[in-house]
Structures are given as C-alpha cells and as structure tokens.
Chains A and B, each alone.
Chain A
C-alpha cells in the first residue's frame, strides 16, 4: 500500500501491543485471528498467561498455527512465566463459555466483514456474554476513503459496510450503554497534514473498558448453562518453571553441575593439582570469590560433623587417601565408598540460580528428595557424588586405548574401527 510507514496493519498490531505493555492483561483473546500474525507477536509478552485465537476459517488457522509452538530455547531455558495458547474455530456470533472472563479481547478489522444483524449478535456475545475487562475494536473509517488512491467502493470486496466516524461512535455508545462499558475512540493511520481533524484516522479504534472495575463476570447468570460451540484446533502449554516436573529437572541439573564443580575445586585443592588446562589466574571476579567461600565451606562442614557421622567418615577417608586416588592403585573393594559430600546449604548460598529456584534450603531438600538424578545423604542434608567417575576397570581400558600417540584426543576414543556409532556432527 505504501501510504503509511509502518504499514497500517502493523500499526494496528502495534496499538494492541502497546496496550498489552501498559495494562498487562493475563488472558487475551483475538477474534478473527486468521493466520495468527497478531498472536505470534503477543506470545513474546509473557505477562500473558492465556492467549486464545478464534476464527471462522479453520483452514487458515491450521496453516500457520504451528508457528505458535514454543521454540527450542523455550525448552532449554524454561521461564517462570506460564503461557497456554489455544486456537478455536467458530463464529463470533455464537457463545462459548470457555472464552468468558478474559482481560482483553481484540477484534481487529473484523466487524466490517459481518452483516449488520451479525454485528448485533457480535456485540451481545462479546460485551454481554464474554464480558472481558477490555475490548479493542478496529474497523475502517470511511471518512478517510477519499484519501486512498484509486479506491472505488469498499476497501475489500468482502466488506459488508464501512462506517464513518459518526456511525462507529454511535454503535460504540450504544454498546456501552447496553452492557456497561466506557469507550475511548482513537485510531491509527494519520491523515495528511491538516486533514486529521476533518477525516480522522484511516483505521478507527474503540477501546472499551468494563464499568464496575474488577468485579468478575457473573458466572451464575440467568443463562448460566455452559455452551461450547467452538472447535478446539490447537492447544499448547509452554514449558514453565511452575510445572513442578520442569522445576525439579532444571534444579537437579543446576545442583549437579555446581556440586561437581565444587567437588573438582576441592579435589584440586586437596591434591595440590589443578585439573584445568587453563591454569592461569583463577578466581578473578565474582565467580572466583564465590568459589573461595564455598571451598572453605566444604572443609569446615566436614570437620564440624554437622552432616552426620556417616559423611564425616566418608570425607575423612577421602582426605587420607587423597593422593592414592590419583595413582589408581586403590583396592576395588573401597571404590564404592569414595564419595564427596556437598552440603545443600553450601550449594544454596554459592549458586544464585539454585537459591532462586528453590527459595529455601529446606525446600531445596524437598525438591531433590525423589529426584533420581541426585543422590542425597541419609539425612538429606548433602548431595553425594562419586569421588572419581573416571575409574575404568582395567579390562575396559585395555580394550579401548589405542595408544595412538600421547593419549591426547583421538587416543581416547577406542579403536578406529569402533568410532562412535552415534553421529553428532551431521545433525547441526
């Protein structure tokens, strides 16, 4: 069209988005969602917890609905926010109880596709039955039409009417009166300089607010029987930390990662060796400080016997054999006992993410209790880790090592005949 920058449809969507940013509605319904363009933008605004689209044309919706699915990173780093997206096929002139009580209903360039009789039904369904907190209705402003070059008749052949500003206003006022709303009339698509007063916006918009504040809709109204006239086409729940399973999984990963990290540092300190190829200037900045503190923790915990006798013996034994362990000459029978115990309290205070996720140490314990990925000490106060996961039985090592030079890199990967059967590279 080129008449407006940004394009008019973008401006209409931006209008909704700005509203969402300001008012932070939790439940949003888009009527006539079509190819879900607006929904796709709204899904980034995670104040929204329930995002629903309705359209009479199921085929259109189905074509693009998979674009609303969570993307890979939504699974990789689940957020605290919850989001469910649902898409329905149905007519705005029919009622459906599932869509009642929303915070915001948008109807962008929709009503002009309805007959005037259907507009009446639309008003009754949206304002009288669904009774959302706010409604945004946009429709073409026919006062503006002379400015659209080459336009004869309506802007689209399917339009049943195009209202002047006065007509739109009178409909809006009637709706307010009848169903208890107040309206603010505005629009997008500025007229040429000096003409704004005379013709108004290209798209006129009414923003309706329900009177009577936050009082919820009357569930038990006279016509309280639940109607379900729409067909559910699509429903997806975004991964969220509110889902206990996801929370526990994320927490478990974080706990194991930090516990292993603390363990390695502690072992390195004990044996006086550094386990890392980057052996320069450790402990720079915050992270390093954090480690220092936590290492002390590990040490003191163990002498305080705070975590029970069992742990003390384990760690003590550790200390005694520290050196031996590096030479791999311990008798097999003792292998099972060589464990490092990392108190939950230490984890909780040195890993910010763990503390945020769990809230408190006792809650942390509770969450980890039945988690198969983590082994807790008997009293549940510490995470137990195997001292050395690298222990291979000699037999295996004998077969695996190829003794290609140096033991670096390739030498560690079994014989060339048995290259990893799994293929990592080709996937990227």
Chain B
C-alpha cells in the first residue's frame, strides 16, 4: 500500500486497528512504514535474478511501494490495483463464472497487447556519487551514456527501466556536470520484470501516453483529446473535443488496452467572460453568492500551461495588482504574467480564483500555498449542475456525443489503425518490443433468462428486448395499495384547469390499478414561493396522506421549499408536477397512470415483484451524493429491503461531517434498518447483501479496508449469536468497458440480461458485468459488479441472477434499470437531500419511498 493509498483508507490513518476482511495485502508481507511508500521506491532493493514463482509474488507485493511516475511519481492508482479480494473467497478461487442463460457472441472495446516472447523489463537502481539533488540533472547525467543504455529507457530519478540486460550486474559510468564536476553513476540490476508484473503494466501505460502525444492529442485530466476537429455548440458556448480514454491492465485472459471514445466538453469563454455575464444577470447583490455556487468545484484550463486546476474558492479581496513573493522579490500577478508569458491582463479589477494545488513543493521545502488564478486566463471545462439539468443543452450535446454501437466501434477501430499507421508511434512501440492487436476483442457472454413480473395473484412476461412492461401492466392491479382518502392538490389559478383534469384522470386510471382514491381537496395558491408554503402550513395536518402540488414552472426554489417543508418540518409524502407536463391531453392518461403509481408507492403501496428464491434476505443499497456547493458536504444514503418480495424499503440519509467517512453515519442507518426488519418480520435477516454504489476510481481500497469492517461491526452489535451471511458488492456505472453484440452480423447493443464474467474481468477480483437496461439511442453501458466480500457461499450464477432481478424492482420505472433498485433508490434520496432539502428527512418517513 502506498502512503497515499494508506491515507485514503482513513480507518488506518486514524490508528484504528482494523482487520481487513478482504485482505488487500494477501501476501502477508508486513506493510512498510507510510513514509517509505512516499519515496517512489527509492532505496528499496530486492534481489535480482530470474523470476521464479516466488519472485513474481514478491514483485506484485513490492509493487505496492515501487511505483514509477512520469515525473514526481506520486499519483493515484485509478485502476484500484493491488486490491486482491478474490483470494479471500474460497468458493470463487477456482471459478467465478455463472452458467444460466444462452451464449451470445460479443465484442468488447479491448485490444490485446502482444510482446516478444521472453520479453522482460529490467529494473535498475541508479546511484550518484556525489549525490545529485535535481532530478533533471540526474537524468541528464545518466543519459550521457546512450551508447551503453540504448535509446529505449525510462528513468524517474532513481529507478531505470531498460528493455535489455546490461552486461554486468553492476555498471559503473562516469559523467561530468556543466561545471565540470565529475560524477560516478552506479547502475545496479535489481529486478527482472515479466510482462504481467504490475510495474510493467504501469510502464505500458506510460509508453502509451507518450504515443498519444505523438499523435498530437491534448491531455486533459486522465484522457487525451483531439483539438483539431472540434464540434461546436455555439448557442451554449460549448466546444466538444473527441478523444479517448485508455487503460492498459492485466485482465482475466491477457494484458489488454481498454479504450473508449470520450468527449471533452469545454467552454469557449474565459472565466472572466462568464463572471461578467453572470453579474449582468444577477445584479451586484446576489452576484457573490451565485458566482461562488456556479464556479466552485469546476475545473479550468489556463492560457499559459497545460495544467488543469479545480476552483476551490474565490479570493474576493485579490486582484491582479496584488503581489506575491517570487525569488525573494515581490511581484504583482500582472507583472509576473507579462514577464513570464508575455500575457497582458486587461481587467485589473477582476478578483482571483483559488485552487488548492495538491502537488508537493521542492524537496524539504514547505508545501506551496494555493495557486491564485487569473479569471481572464482561465477556461471552464465540463458542465455545471445547472447545465446538466438544462434539457436543451443536454439534448444538443447528445446529438453530438451519443454514438450508436456501430459508430462507436468504427471509431475505436479507426483509432487503433491510426496507431498502426503512425510511423513515430510504431517506432516507439518497436523500441520496447510491443505491439497491439488490430481488432476488437471477440468473446462469448450469456443472456440471462427473462423475469416474470408478479402482481398479487397475477403474473405476466414482457418483451425482454424492450426491457419494460408499462403496456403489460395496464389493467393489472398492483400488489397492495393503501386507500388514498385524505389528500390535497395545490395549484395556481392559472393552472386550475390542468389540476382539475389531472384529478379527474387520476380517478379514471387508479381504479384498474387497484388503487382506491378519494377526490382531493383542491387548494389554490398565489404564484409565489412564500404563499405556497403558507398554503401548505395552513392545510396539511398529520392526518394528511398525500400532497400533490401543480407547479407553474420548473423553478427549483419552489420545488425545494415544498420538499423541505414536507420532508422535514411536516413529514408527509408529496408529489410535484409541472403544469406543462399536464398540458397535452393526449398524454394525460399515461402521465396520470405514472403519477398514480408514484403516489401509491410513496404511501407504502407495493406495485410488483419478481421471484426471489432466497429467504430471510435483506438487500441494502448505498450511494452518496457530493454536494460541492454547500461546503463540500457529502450525503450518504442507505436503503434496505424489509420484506420477502423486495417491495417495502427502509431509507435513511446521513449528512457527512467534515473529516468523517460516509460509512460512519451509515453504520447507524444499517442498525436502524436491521431493527426495522425485525419489526416487519419478527426476525433478523440471515443473509445481507450490500450493493455499494458511488465508489470512485481508486477508492476501492477504503471500501475493502474500512467499510466492510464497519458493516461487520454493525452486525455484531445486534447480538453475539447473530451471524448472518454477508456479501458486499461494489457497483460501478462509470466504466469504460463497452460491449457489442455480433448476433445479427451487424454491430448492435447487447440485449438486456447480457452477462460477462470472464476475459475482460480482473483476475484478482470476483467481478462481472451485466447489461441490464435497454437504451433507445446510443450505446448501452454495462454495469460492473465487484464482490469484495462474501461469506454467503452463494454460487456466482445466483449472485449474477439475483443482481439482475434487483434491477427490475425500481418502482419509478416500469422496466429494468442500470443498477439494482436499492442503489437507485439511495441515489434518488441522496440527490433530493443534496439538491433540495440539505437536512436529514424526518424519521417518520423512514419506511416510505417518499423521495421517488
């Protein structure tokens, strides 16, 4: 574990003794003290020699400390390498493959990497005498010996990698500095790395980045983009650069390059332009407040270097005329940019942006303070939440960026053929003895059998290709629904007609659904947020079952105030509808049906179910929402099933406090869920399956090391004789893996229910992919499931099928969704709290899906 990864898993950092159930360091080698990991492996030497089985093991353990970087060396491992959870799970050691379903021919966005037979990467340790401080100087001195080292080499200041073996184990070289100082360099062979060693794989990634640069691609963040052929959406001042995400990793079958088409959204205006515009729109008083909300958390590019910075704050009291200390002199920002980059600052009164740069200062020196950025020189990247919520912007973006499967496939093929055509790129690969497959990886997956939907005594099938059953559900009563007797409908005078017709239609559609509904009390409110709130306060009582509010526009503040009042102050299930959606008579039936269903499940109705073959099972979904605006608070949500048919749920939201892990709060929520389960079933569940969503790249460590033990602690606290079977699954939607079906001879999306559990999975994990949803446009994205802890002994096949079944149970959509329903519920709740309520909802609503 590197020092950084260690700091990430805060359980350890706080000195708590945790026994990692997933045993991330399976070799049992004692972990080094944290600061050793910081040193890019400097000083660490392991015995060289041809690699035996033990040597390989040792290498992969050693990789925890030996990391090479392009410069500076310290980077986060976004691929969650070194988490070896599979070996702790006895029942999947041999095989983690399922068996159900029919085989399907697929291709995936992976290209195999081929290296010469017997290819070995030689790792050397380089010592300088007298010692040289500057890394640049060290490489300059070393590279004076090209005739000995060859042109293929990689050196990070301490470690040297060569594709060839030097004649002797220890090579002495003599160099001279510009000042004529004689330096003796000792190059010692320390390791021979087989192609599968983690260092080698990291090394492939570095070479590959070099190659992308040769193709004149621009690096932004982790990916590379082609700026020469931009797509513009001028009405929103957006520019899109097409590019690629690339990762080279050891996958189940081979070392492969996983590459996907990616689009970078950039804004063709500077932050200063943006601020000036915003000030015109908001006026001076609200400007500071709104500007902070809009800008903080966004990433900017600067005019003078190729770095990206995240805006952490705005220095309202700083302008370009302020000074900073540079080489013991005070320089103003204005003069600095003029002299350094010949850039003139036009607006001397603009305030500055603050970015807390994470990089460390020069050796021994204090870490540098935050970077101050000049808005005039910064360009915004990505989308704000406001833009994401803007339907027209997203639609315009989709037009450019949603690629049909065959378009996507042909772009990927084009990319790899460009690699093969480019002579420079080819030369670099040759130098290291590497090459890529020319074609996308072909493989076989399985399509799980379709599920049957049960509603009380009736059940039906649906077209699995369409993955929804809205039509089939017509006229079939839901499992149960409490009668809706006492409820209100609030509307403005202008929308009185819409409200009226909504109520009539609700009456019409609810009876066939088996939902008993009395007429609502209609209440008119003035079109102002205070008067709506007043109307709610006057009318809603603890006896009120449901409140429906017809909003005149989709303005967020009104929605927020309704939700805040009815989720916290006066806990009552509520349903908001924008009048515009009710304005089309021909769509009203469909809309009213959906609203009726939603109202029903918000007050505890159960709509449908699928067959769940496991008894005494509790399924838990966890997700979090990061509120970058409100003091960077994160919100964690936990949703847990309460009955056999997975139709009732316990939901709890916790607001994270500074420096606290999201799981600390969710531990209490899980205890609450178990107690509630007890109330519903008179027993505790004998199996618990936790689906954990919202884990970022590189955070797997902390889930495995910290969260799992927190969950176990919580279970333990229920009683000493309570020993349920526990499974923890990390769910990931944002992955670059794509699957294409080759069934019809054409490249299409794989059908819902497609499972892949070999070839492109990771050998050290118990993981699988499921395509559960159907998309009408673009390419479908599979969801990745990584079982990081499992004491259930459940067969992989059953694990996969149960997961797929759970994707059928989201009551806000009569169809299959992308993640298990509890994850989507948790997401929905965290989003509502983070976006609108900003407080923990009342516990009176815990047993209801009030946030749907």
Contacts and interface: CB of A to CB of B under 8 A. Distances in A.
Given A328-B584, A428-B308, A73 B302 contact: yes
Contacts of B389: 408-410, 412
A-B pairs, top 4 by smallest CB distance, nearest first, are A407-B578, A256-B234, A406-B576, A417-B773
A412 B385 CA distance: 13
B232 A373 contact: yes
Please report whether the interface of chain A is mostly helix, strand, loop or mixed according to DSSP.
Answer: loop
Interface in A379-428: 389-390, 394, 397-399, 401-413, 415-428
Interface residues of B, number: 117
Contacts of A156: 176, 178-180
5 contacts: A72-B306, A150-B181, A155-B178, A278-B286, A427-B263
Contacts of A413: 394
B471 interface: no
Most buried by A among B392, B578, B734: B578
Given A409-B556, A421-B775, A398 B262 contact: no
B221 interface: yes
B844 interface: no
Contacts of A6: 327
B48 to A, nearest CB: 28
A422 B401 contact: yes
Interface string A269-308: 0000000111011111101100000000000000000000
Contacts of B824: 416
A333 interface: no
Nearest to B217: A69
Contact of A260 (B214, B235, B286, B467): B235
Contact of B780 (A328, A415, A421, A428): A421
B282 interface: yes
Interface stretch (A117-125, A213-221, A247-255): A247-255
A75 interface: yes
A404 B852 contact: yes
B572 to A, nearest CB: 14
Contact of B594 (A154, A255, A285, A403): A403
A407 B302 contact: no
Most buried by A among B181, B239, B282: B282
B583 interface: yes
A71 interface: yes
A418 B775 contact: yes
A6 B340 CA distance: 14
Contacts of B574: 405
Query: Do most interface residues of chain B lie in helix, strand or loop, or is the interface mixed?
Result: mixed
B336 interface: no
Contacts of B483: none
B265 interface: yes
A155 B776 contact: no
Interface in B253-284: 262-266, 268, 270, 276-277, 279-284
A71 B218 contact: yes
B550 to A, nearest CB: 10
Given A73-B302, A389-B392, A280 B230 contact: no
Nearest to B562: A406
Nearest to A397: B587
Given A403-B581, A424-B265, A154 B180 contact: yes
A245 to B, nearest CB: 11
A45 interface: yes
Given A155-B178, A157-B180, A428-B299, A277 B555 contact: yes
A150 B584 CA distance: 90
A151 B232 CA distance: 60
Contact of A409 (B220, B270, B835, B852): B835
A46 interface: yes
Interface in B363-397: 379, 381-383, 388-389, 391-392, 394, 397
A147 interface: no
Nearest to A151: B180
Contact of A253 (B178, B213, B268, B591): B268
B342 interface: yes
A277 B15 CA distance: 49
Nearest to A14: B339
A336 interface: no
Given A75-B227, A402-B812, A413-B394, A425 B734 contact: yes
Given A253-B232, A373-B234, A403-B581, A416 B810 contact: yes
A360 to B, nearest CB: 21
A257 interface: yes
B813 interface: yes
Given A156-B176, A253-B234, A278-B290, A284 B382 contact: no
B263 A416 contact: no
B778 A422 contact: yes
Interface in A194-239: 236
Interface centre among B235, B341, B551 (most CB of A within 10 A): B235
A44 B304 contact: yes
A130 B783 CA distance: 63
Contacts of A328: 583-584
A425 B382 contact: yes
A284 B304 contact: no
B301 A73 contact: yes
Contacts of B780: 421
A1 interface: yes
Given A73-B301, A151-B179, A405-B559, A416 B818 contact: yes
A420 B232 CA distance: 19
